[in-house]
Amino acid sequence: MTRIHLAALVALSFFVIPGWAQQADSSLLSVQRIYGTREFRSQSFGPARWLGDGSAYTTLEESEADRGQNLVRYDSERGAREVLLSARQFIPQGDTLPLRVEDYAWSPDMKMLLIFTNTQPVWRLNTRGDYWVLERSNGRLRKLGGPEAKPSTLMFAKFSPDGDRVAYVRENNLYVEDLASRSIRPLTTDGSRTLINGTFDWVYEEELMNYYADGWRWSPDSRSIAYWQLNADQVKDFPLINNTDSLYSQILPVQYPKAGEANSAARVGIVRASGGPTRWLEIDGDPRNHYIARMDWAAGSDEVLLQRLNRLQNTNQVMVGDARSGKVRTILTERDSTWVDLVDNLTWLNDGKSFTWLSERGGWNHAYLVSRDGKSIRPITRGNFDVVKVVGTDEKGGWLYFLASPDHPSQRYLYRSRLDGRGTPERLSPRAESGTHTYDAAPNFRYALETYSSFGKPPIIRLVRLPRHEVVRTLIDNATLRSRLAMLRKGSSEFFSIPAVNGAKMPAMLMKPADFDSTRRYPLLLHVYGGPGSATVNDAWGSYYLWHLMLTQKGYLVASVDNHGTPAPLGRAWRKSIYGQLGVVETRDQATAARSLSRRPYVDAGKIGIWGWSYGGFMSLNSLFQHSDLFSTAVAVSPVTHWSLYDNVYTERFNGLPGANKAGYDRGSPLTYVNGLKGNLLLIHGSGDDNVHFQNSEVLINALVTANKPFTMMEYPNRTHCVCQGKNTQVHLFDLITRYLEQHLKGGPAQPQVRDRAAAGGS
């Protein structure tokens, strides 16, 4: 009996853990803490709207008492706070809870508020929903669209400039609703699945409109509306198959033009807001082999300005169209041997006699002032640096405000230059605050809402006074998040550069473990995107920072390197060197970076892995297949595997037409190199991916099977490109990747070492 009792006590000593030991170490991260809780959520702010010239602004603030949001006005200078609309005023008649305001807009006289709520995604963004108008004078709240409008079907509603009406898109037709009489007038009636008025098809939204598919504009005099119409009757469907939501499979057809396939035919028309026939602009050329990529009124109600790309997207014609006659003339043409970029934030100056423009015509992205007839093109900014983004144009003061970073491509700062082109750019962001600064400038440019973050440090949002950049007050400090981050174990991080084969300096970043010991050797994981759409070496608060930090806590080095072709502000030649051979130069650069890092004495050169998503998945596959001497493990999430399988607008912009460049398509494809796979591959894809179709992974799987190459595969049923739908999906995904790395990279057998370890590389 005694022995049994003692044995039981011994057993209990193994399984009953003291209370102090049961408490999780708050300095250590886990996938559950990062993706399964809201512990590291940033504070929210806005949306904010400037009022008048910028002397005040409004923003939404949570009202816990009313389980909704208050709309609050702040005086910019003094900070005086006034609740303009309380959460209770957002409660519809007969309901008990306020509307959840997801976006809003003021009427020009601020007597009415347009509310966007109950939103649903079309593709990437929630651009359809319900719109309500609230009248401040009497508190009346009413829903737009009339009884025929189904829930969440209105899109891109906007007040007319005179404030009397609201126009919107519903099920591919345009409508105008009179706010006094509540009458609704259809401006188009021919909308269908393939005839699209006032919005766009999948590829226009994804690749040309920055995901925001607003396809119509009020004229400044409120009398007319200019809008796009797309005819998608020749665009083939790519069916997505849902096998899990019913007993039998369901098919979702998506209009998706793959590389080399037929596009929608786009045209622009002007219709009276009171109704009547549409006047179509008379634009020469095959509309299915051109893109009308930008359109807006040209500083008045008589003409519209268009940006039209050819099929190869190496020519951008800036056109002016007459709203009455439909006649069109070209005033400016941008050409490039590779591709040309579209221009946003174009501003008319001098009573419509000139406009601002961005161009790489001199080798760097710079701002220009162009006359209305296009005969005069005068530089505003000069120098060996890129204008990353135009923040705004202060015509009265004579300044152009823009973001740039001449010395550090991973950072962003506010500059201004004289509109007359004289002098040198003036940096306004504080030199003591390195990192990334973005701005929403007031119309009078006396104030701006600044968002500032740096690597590992979450954003702070401040109201600053321009041009001296004096902080008026801090609006969001993320103090709670900062205190939680301060408790985490973390090592040092460094930003540096690695020389490419051609001598160009590739931006790089390296995170080290908290207990880093330079005499030890650590496994190295590279995070890559590598494509024209995004850079990963950013001195800013980032989406994967916490997971990468968790890996350093587990004993990994984590690095990222921006290769040629990424949108780093390093000049035209850097960005466009990848043309016609997507994947070739980029893979060479990533291998060069891995080889350089492997020479550092604390890197275990036999345990170098790479992971990425989308283009980054494509890059991870290429790196593993082509450079098995460097990479032992790769994780590819939602990868493109051959560019003929992707959409035509994106692919042809960077790779040309598949019929004319088959060799370039094949040379950059991981399918060409599957026989080179010698290490560990984890392939992840959502079967409901409407962007990079699951077909890409299926084709790769067939190639790997044919080559008799072992690999690990995870399919997430019906998840889209983000692999984020459904409870615990993100937790499951990152748990899966973490376990795979622990088993195959950190714990896997060492591969043959790179012999030349003499130089560490980097600068």
The string of DSSP codes covering 472-499 is EEEEE--HHHHHHHHTS----EEEEEEE
- Report the Cα 305 to chain-centroid distance in Å: 26
Beta-bridge partner residues of 132: 115, 143
How many C-alpha atoms does 601 have within 13 Å on its Cβ side?
6
Return the pLDDT at 758: 33
Amino acid at 135: E
Q: Is the separation of the CB atoms in 369 and 349 below 8 Å?
A: yes
Structure tokens at 131: 């719109």
pLDDT score for 748: 57
> What are the structure tokens assigned to 2, written together?
């005694």
pLDDT of residue 479: 98
Residues of the chain falling short of pLDDT 70: 1-23, 748-763
Instruction: Show the domain range for 732.
Output: 489-746
The whole-angstrom separation of Cα 76 and Cα 473 is: 9
- Residue recorded with tokens 């710079």: 366
Is residue 542 within 8 A of residue 455, CB to CB? The reply is yes
Alpha-carbon gap, residue 369 to 357, rounded angstroms: 6
Name the token pair of 569.
């502000």
What is the per-residue pLDDT for 22? 43
User: Cα(555)–Cα(561) distance, rounded to whole angstroms?
Assistant: 20
| Packing angle of the helix pair 729-741, 545-553 (nearest 10 deg) | 40
In a domain? residue 576: yes
Q: Are strands 505-511 and 493-499 parallel, antiparallel or unpaired?
A: antiparallel
CB 499 within 8 A of CB 763: yes
Q: Which residues pair with 683 in a beta bridge?
A: 636, 713
pLDDT of amino acid 23: 55
Please give the Cα distance from 169 to 122 (Å, whole number).
13
- The Cα 31–Cα 545 span in angstroms is 12
- Identify the CA nearest to 611 among candidates 642, 632, 585, 581: 632
Whole-number Å distance between alpha carbons of 198 and 705:
46
User: How much is the pLDDT for 212?
Assistant: 86
For helices 615-626 and 584-598, give the axis angle rounded to 10 degrees: 60
Burial class (CB in 10 A: 0-12, 13-18, 19+), 484: middle
Q: Which of 39, 108, 159 is nearest to 487 (CA)?
A: 39
pTM of the model: 0.93
Contact 99, 117 (CB under 8 A): yes
Residue 281 is assigned to a structural domain of this protein: no
Residue for token digits 């051109």? 290
Start-end of H helices in 643-728: 648-655, 662-667, 695-706
- From the CA atom positions of the chain, what is the Rg in Å? 28
Determine the Cα–Cα distance for residues 322 and 270; give it in Å rounded to an integer.
9
Q: Residue 383: what residue type? A: G
| CATH assignment at residue 676 | 3.40.50.1820
Q: How many domains in the chain? A: 1
Q: Is residue 509 part of a domain?
A: yes
Rounded to whole angstroms, how far apart are CA atoms 298 and 349?
11
DSSP letter assigned to residue 191: -
540-576 burial, b at 16+ Cβ within 10 Å, e below that, comes to bbbebbbbbbbbbbeebbbbbbbbbbbbbbbbbebbb
Check residue 126 and give its pLDDT.
93
Pair 303, 295: CB distance under 8 Å = no
CA atoms of 672 and 583, how far apart (whole Å):
12
Q: How many CB atoms lie within 10 A of CB 329?
A: 11
In this structure, are residues 436 and 452 in contact, taking their beta carbons and an 8 Å threshold? yes
Distance CA 632, CA 675 (A): 15
Task: Tell whether 523 is covered by a domain.
Answer: yes
Query: For the chain, percent helix, then strand, then coil, each to nearest 5?
Result: 20, 35, 50
- Is residue 577 within 8 Å of residue 588, measured between CB atoms? no
- Strands 522-527 and 557-561 come out as parallel
pLDDT of residue 40: 97
